[in-house]
Each structure stands twice: as C-alpha cells, then as structure tokens.
A and B are shown apart, each in its own frame.
Chain A
Amino acid sequence: MQTTALAVFLSRLDFAWITSMHILYPPLTIGLAALLFLAEWRWVRSNDEHWYRLVRFFEKLFIVNFAAGVATGITMEMAFGILYGPFSQAAGPFFGQVLGYETITAFMYEAGFIGLMIFGWGKISRKMHLFATFNVALSSTLSAMWILDANSWMQTPAGVVLKDGFFQVVDWGAALLNPDVLFGFPHMLLAAFELALCFTAAVSAWFILKGQHVALFQRALKPSILALAVVAPLQVYLGDGLGRVVADDQAAALAAMEGHYHTYNPDGSVDTSWQVIGWPNAAGDDFAWSIAIPHALSLIETHTWNGKVTGLDDIPAQDRPPVLIPFYSFRVMVAAGGALVLLGFWGAWLALRGRLSAERVSRHRWFLRATIAAGFLPYISVWCGWWVREICRQPWVVYGLMRTEDGVSHMSVLEAALWLAGYMAFETVVWASVWYFLAKVIRMGPDLASPVAADGHQHLGELEAPSHDPDALPSYIRPI
C-alpha cells in the first residue's frame, strides 16, 4: 500500500490534534499540585483555616482538570504505536524505554497517591495527607521530566546509532542528557508553574472583583502575583537559553521560527535583522513584506552585533520546515510571555506599596481585570510553544536521522481522516465539559461551612456504616 503525501499530512494532523488537546491539562496538574502542597503546608503549620478553605476549593478545580488529563492521556500512550508504528519500532529501544520509565516511575506513582489526596480528607492524618499531596506534585513533575526527555531526544538525538533499521543506544548518558533537554525540561516545568500561578491568580481576581470572599482570595492572589514576578522573567531567560540550543543544533528550525530566509544580504553582508512581523511571498522563499530590526537577530541568537545566523537558503530545499505557523506561534508565545512579565511587575509594584492588602486590593479593578485575562495567556503560550517545537522539527520525526514520512504508519487517507474526525468530536466534548464544569465549580464558590477535616485515625479499610440519610454525602463521591 502506498502512503500518499496527503495521508502523511493527515496523520501529522492526527497527532497534532491529540497532543494539542492533551497538553491543555497536564501543566495545570503539575503546577497546581505544587501550589496545593504549599498552601496545605501553610495550613498544617499555621492551623489557619483560610489556607484549608483555599486548598479544598482549588482541589475541586484540580480534580476536574485531572480527570480530563486522564481521559485524553490514555490515548497518547497508544497513539505512538498506532499513528507512528515504524517510528515507535525504530526509536523504541530508547524512546519506548523512556516512556516506560514515565509510566512506572511517574504515572503509577501518581495514581498511587491521587486517590489518597482526593478521598483521604478526615480519614488519614493531616500530615499524611500533606505527604500525599507532596507525592502527587513530585510524581507529576517527574512525568514532565520523562516526557520532555523523550521529546528532546527527538530534537537532538544523541547517544544512538541507526543500525538494522532502528536506533541502537550506544551511550545512555548522552541520550538521556541530550542538549535540548537541559533547557527544554526546565522551560516546560516553569511553563506549568507559570500557568498554575496565572490560573490561581485569575480565579482569585474574579472573586475579588465581584466582592466575594475578598479576604480569602487575597491570600491566594498576592503570593501568586509575587511568584509570577519572579517566574515570568526566569521563563524568558530559559526560553532564550532554549533558543540558543536550537540555534546551535537545529539551524533549520531556528531559521523557520525566525523567518530568517537568507544568511547573507544581496550585497554580501551578513543578514542580522530580526523580522518582527511579515508575510511570506507566493514562492515561500522570502517575505513579501516584513518589518525588521537590524542586528537584533544576531544579538538574540549569538549575543554579538554582527554574528552569522544560518538562513533557510543554506538548508537543502527538501529539509526546510514550514515557516508561517512557527513564525507566528513563536511571536505570540514571546508576546504572551512578555505580557506576563509586565503583569508580574505591576503586581509586585502594587504589593510593595501595600496596595494588595485585603482592605485595598478591590480598588485596583484594572489590575484585577488584567489578571483575569492573563489566566488564558499561558494556555495560548503552551500551545504556541509546542507548535513551534514540533513544526520546526519537520520534515524530520527524529531530527536529521528519520524523516516523518518514514516514521508514520501506513494509513490510507480515509483511515487518517476517520481518526481525526473521531478525536475532534470526542476531545472537543471533553474540552467543552472541562470549561463548563470549571466555570460551574468556580461559580459555586468555596465551601466555608463544612467542618475542617480533622486528623483521621482510621484503620485500613474502615468505613463508616452506609448512611440511610438521603442528604448525606457518601464518602466515595468525589468531593465537589
């Protein structure tokens, strides 16, 4: 059976869709788990009920998000084999093993503690519960590490040789610590924290703006914004570092995301200009129009005034990635990252002057509105960042070693289209449900009435007798 170019393109779309619809959930799981741990830790230390109410409220949102992550995540593990069978076979000795580590040291680990975290309130001691939350945070972080390690290896495949049709690992250390992961993993991890900080701040700002539970949510807003003032600039630094790794190891990818068509200007001098925006010409070998800043590209990528940056015209035509989507995705990601830095500084400036106190925070309505809007920016950034990363690697599935068309399963156009249609339907429903139910839980607001969970001292497996009171909440219902 012949794999047509259209079928290859569709199977790329197939994978792009399921990964784009999955990456919406894990960053919040990772970041929010860490924030829940910090808040719960403060509750256990200070015995201050505010922190307990905040933890219980944000945990409800965490659960809705987590369920969607599981629903869309099971597919991911199967999809490598289904859509990219030959790639999975060839890369399996390294890539499959790393994903296997992820399953065992992160997924199973997380599954082991998430139930205790959700259902354990009042049944286990407070410290034991805090320990469960800590382990959920740690295991989800480990999960991100393995996934990013596997993906980074596809960008900078070190430590392997291609022999007998598959990648044989000759140096595990080099493969695991490939050049891309050293910035790629911290960049993604920090993105997860940034997203969770913005999410927490946005939800809190919404309540404060409406004048509900101001004293409670001010406690969540202020540290989130202060942390953002540190995390957002750090993320810019890491992004720059990752950009230089790409410049060193993936010249074609860098040229595509920067729309850098020519290494040299027509007069023979080095083309140093950074394209702010532009639109490619019909032939796709230059911009039809663009706005450019001279020397900026050389400064960003080489940290010198006139440094040479390889342009697309130095890359063989069959090895050039598409330009338009990465170029604009990159700019949107950078703009969103910059906006979050500004928001963090704005919040820090207000906090320094005492304006974020419970008495005064409600007056800064434009700041609160901006914070709510900023809740969406990290989601857009994460999407754009991944689109840059994955599209710029094309036409390779393992950069420089295995082409996408050689790694894809032999599917017909019909099969690839059926997959896409099915997942578009099912995962859109998941997405819509998550937004609907997150909004519903937020509207319902925090539960301030129920008694604070005390230290439980249950023996293993002991449950209270089934209640016959029709209003009683059975203990195995997820606490919403």
Chain B
Amino acid sequence: MNGLTQIQSIVTFAWWIALDFSVLLYVLLDGADLGAGIFSLFVRSEHERGAIMSAMAGTWDANETWLIVAGGVLFGTFPFVYGSAFPYLMVPLALALWGMITRAVALEFRHLAEARWQRFSDIAFGVSSLTTAFFGGMAVGAVLQGFPLTNTPGTVPTYVGGAWRFISPFSLWTGVAAVVAVTLSGVLFIRARFEKAEPIRQQAAAWTNSIFYLALAAVVITLAASVELFPWAAQKWLGPDAALWALVPLAVVFAAVQMRRAVAHDRDLAAILWLNLGVAIMAAAMMATVYPWLIPGTWTIYSGASPAVSLFTFTLTMGGFFPIMLMYNSYQLWVFRARVSALAAYH
C-alpha cells in the first residue's frame, strides 16, 4: 500500500503525531477519571462516592472526546490499520466499550436515581472503571506485540487470526500496569479536587505513596519485558545511541521526583502536571522506539495510510479544529477546577 507522494508521506507522519497526541491526551485526562472510579470502589461513604462522580460530571465526556478523535483519525487516515487491528482487538475493545457505556449511565443518571439504585450504580461505576482501564491496557499490550496479516495479491492485508489471539502474558501484564497507572492518576485527581480537610482526600493522600511505588515497579517491569520480548525495542535502546536513550529515564525520574515533592507540599495541581509530563515523555520515547511502525511488525505508518491523505484536510483539522478543541477542553478543566466537598453528592 505504498504509493504515497512525498508530500503525502509528510502529511501521514504529521497525522501519526496527531493520532498519538490524541491517544496521549485521552490517557492523561480520562485516565484520571478511570483511576478515581477505581478508587471509589474503596470508598465507604456513599456521599463521597457521589462526590467523586460530581467532581468529574462537567468534564468526563470532553475527556472521552479525545478517544473519539483518535478513532476518527485512525479511520480517516489509517483505514488499513483500523480495519485489521480492530477485529484483532474485538474482545478487549468490546469489554472496554461496555465499561464506558456503564460508566456513562452510572455517572449521568445517578442524581436522578432512587437511593437503593445509587448503591448498585456506584458499584457498577467502580467496576466499569476498572474493566475499561484493564482492557484498554490489554489492548495497548496486544498492539505492541503485533499480529499476522493475510497475504493475498490484489486485496488489502487483513486479520484472520481469531478473537482470542490478543491474550498473552505480556498483554495481561499491561492490563494490570494500566490499572495501577490510572489509579495513581486518579488518586492525584481526588487530592486536587477535594477540600483539604475532607476525609476522602486524606484517604487518597494515604494511598499516594504505595500506589506511586507500585506504578514505578510497573514501569520498570514493562521496560524489562519489552527489552526481552521486542527486538525493535532492544535494538534501539541498547544500540549505538544507548547514551541518548538513557536520557529518557533520567528525564522521567526528574519528573517523578518533582511530582513527589509537589505531593509532599500539597501542591496538588503541580503533582498532576509533573505526572502528566512524565507520562508524556515516556509516550514520546515509545513513539520514537516504535517508529516507523504504527503496529510493530505489522503496519508501518506509511503502509497503513490511506492513499487519499491530503494536505488540505490535515490543515483544516490541525489549523482549525484541534486548537479550538484544545482551548475549549482547557477552559472546561479550568472552570471545574475548584475543590469540592462530599456535600456535592447530596444532589
């Protein structure tokens, strides 16, 4: 599928950046919501659980919008990848989507429901947050492992390997790691969104340390497993440019240390931003590692791109709608930044 002109190759590369940027924003923004949902499973007071949902009521759907954007870019620009990766990921995607449907209903309709249903919907909210994070993480692990394609002349290579191939020790592990990572993000979100005297914030504060070390361990294990399993990772990380690559963990460690200092001084927003910076550095490093593959060993960004990519549509999107969306999303997060109390759940 490689009949791209030079300008199309550049546009494809830029679309790939936009795609990964959307996914990263989704992970950073909705990750905190999912983590707070997982945390809510361990919150005993029903008012506090309600307050967690109220704390994200104004922003959760805007955060999920970035996933829709990523899906739209994938289908529009990389249709060959979209149409083969998604059948491969059918089961984890379906489970994550069922989780999202459940979360949306639990969040939006909680304040309309009778008290006995609220308890049920609170559990549904927590469990669906957990399953969405786990199967989302599993899908990422499965993508990193790649998948086989058909090779029939005159047709587009597609996936015929069955719905269960995504299951592997590595993908199971990335599911667990994703749950740990979003829980850290969620705990920081709870700290930032609740008034300092609230018991729920103290509970979140008590969690911060242990969940941080768990997340650190998860990152180290994932890196070690990647070196062991993926030649494309080991070759770059341990190759001639190893010294350059070593800067990445240094930068991440710096962000992590800053995050912990911010936590220690109750500078909650700064803690979130430092965490996001660390995740963004790791994501960028992962992109550089995987390049030129979009899905390692399966599709490169150029072989998976639509021959119809054009500078025109790219400019329209990036110049027009992306900045507006970014500005709006930031405005919304800013509007809903105020700390809340558990009283919020009364309605």
Contacts and interface: CB of A to CB of B under 8 A. Distances in A.
Do A and B form a real pair? yes
Interface of A: 1, 63-64, 67-68, 70-72, 74-75, 77-78, 80-82, 84-97, 99-105, 107-109, 111-112, 114-115, 119, 164-166, 168-169, 409-412, 415, 418-419, 422-423, 426-427, 429-430, 433, 437, 440-441, 460-461, 463, 466-468, 470-471, 473-474, 476-478, 480
B104 A426 contact: no
Nearest to B121: A433
9 contacts: A71-B108, A80-B82, A81-B75, A419-B94, A423-B98, A427-B101, A466-B195, A466-B339, A478-B108
A82 B86 contact: yes
Contact of A430 (B62, B82, B101, B162): B101
Contacts of B94: 82, 418-419, 422
Contacts of B159: 85, 409-410
B58 A115 contact: yes
A468 B163 contact: no
A441 B112 contact: yes
B108 A474 contact: no
Nearest to A81: B86
B338 A466 contact: yes
Contact of A92 (B75, B108, B154, B162): B75
Contact of B54 (A410, A427, A441, A474): A474
B249 interface: no
A85 B1 CA distance: 16
B169 interface: no
A357 to B, nearest CB: 35
A77 B75 contact: yes
A199 to B, nearest CB: 19
Contacts of B343: 467-468, 470, 474
Contact of B308 (A71, A97, A480): A97
Interface of B: 1, 54-55, 57-58, 61-62, 64-65, 67-69, 71-77, 79-80, 82-87, 89-91, 93-94, 97-98, 100-102, 104-105, 108-109, 111-112, 154-156, 158-163, 195, 306-308, 313, 316-317, 321, 324-325, 328, 331-332, 334-341, 343-344, 346-347
Contact of B321 (A72, A108, A166, A168): A108
B341 A433 contact: no
Given A91-B79, A111-B62, 10 more contacts: A78-B86, A88-B79, A93-B308, A104-B69, A107-B68, A107-B72, A109-B321, A410-B159, A463-B335, A467-B343
Contacts of A74: 64, 67-68, 97, 100-101
Given A89-B82, A430-B101, A96 B67 contact: no
Contact of A474 (B62, B82, B84, B347): B347
A429 B334 CA distance: 34
**Does more than half of chain B's interface fall in helix, strand or loop, or is it mixed?**
helix
A92 B84 CA distance: 12
A426 B131 CA distance: 14
A212 to B, nearest CB: 20
Contacts of B313: 97, 100-101
Contacts of B102: 426
B142 to A, nearest CB: 14
Contact of A71 (B101, B195, B307, B335): B101
Contacts of B101: 71-72, 74-75, 426-427, 430
A85 B83 contact: yes
A165 B154 CA distance: 5
Contacts of B195: 466
A100 B72 contact: yes
Nearest to B88: A85
Contacts of B104: 67, 70-71
Contact of B76 (A86, A100, A419, A470): A100
Contact of A100 (B57, B73, B307, B328): B73
A274 B12 CA distance: 53
The 9 closest A-B pairs by CB, nearest first: A92-B79, A100-B76, A103-B72, A81-B86, A89-B83, A88-B83, A165-B155, A71-B104, A96-B75
A108 B65 contact: yes
A463 B338 contact: yes
A104 B331 contact: no
Given A71-B100, A92-B79, A107-B68, A412 B105 contact: no
Given A67-B109, A427-B101, A89 B58 contact: no
